[in-house]
Amino acid sequence: MRIFYHPILGKLEEKRKITLEVDGKKIAAYEGEPIAAALLAAGIRVLRMSPKREEPRGVFCAIGRCTDCVMIVDGQPNVRTCVTPARDGMKIQTQKGLGKWAKKL
């Protein structure tokens, strides 16, 4: 959920609204926010399944170090969604294991 009003930071600044496609479903996002933040706001917290045991993973460090939040973005696997800005029309997929490259990017 978004924090529209914050007692110290005030009202949420209006940014350009965009649409992302996550596993075929459309969600609303703000341009430039990290993909992972947009997903959290939409209530999506499982971002990938681990390679060996297929266990769910989500945001862990949020500074682009741990790579727990990697997903397939526009056909490219292993994109760190916590530090990758959301752009209109991005196609995002939950990554299974190491992910696969789309045939044509």
Partner 1 sequence: MGKETMNVELAVVGGGPAGLAVAAKAASYGVQVTVFDENERPGGQLFKQIHKFFGSKEHQAGIRGHDIGYSLLSQCEEFGVKTMLNTVVWGIEKNMLGIQNNGRTYTIKTKKTIIATGASENPLCFPGWTLSGVMGAGAAQTMMNVHRVQPGQKALMVGSGNVGLIVSYQLLLAGIKVAAIVEALPKIGGYMVHAAKIRRTGVPILTSATICEARGENEVEEAVIASIDEKGNVMEGTQRVLPVDLICIAVGLRPLAELCWMAGCKFMFLPVLGDHVPIHDENMRSTVKDIYVAGDVAGIEEASTAMEEGRLAGIAVAEELGYLGSEEADEKKNLARKRLESLRLGPFGDTRAEAKRKLTESEVNR
Give the footprint of partner 1 on this chain (CB under 8 A): 1-4, 6-9, 12, 32-34, 36-37, 40-41, 45-47, 50, 55-66, 68, 82-83, 85
Tokens of 89: 């029309």
For partner 1, give the closer residue by CB, 87 or 91: 87
Question: What are all long-range contacts of 10-19, with beta carbons under 8 Å and residues at least 24 apart?
Answer: 18/86, 18/87, 18/88, 18/89, 19/88, 19/89
In the complex, the smallest distance separating the C-beta of residue 103 from partner 1, rounded to whole angstroms, is 19
For partner 1, give the closer residue by CB, 66 or 74: 66
Q: Distances from the Cα of 69 to the Cαs of 14, 19, 21, 32, in angstroms?
A: 26, 20, 17, 17
In the complex, the smallest distance separating the C-beta of residue 30 from partner 1, rounded to whole angstroms, is 9
Contacts of 10 (CB under 8 A, 6+ apart): none
For partner 1, give the closer residue by CB, 49 or 91: 49
In the complex, the smallest distance separating the C-beta of residue 91 from partner 1, rounded to whole angstroms, is 19
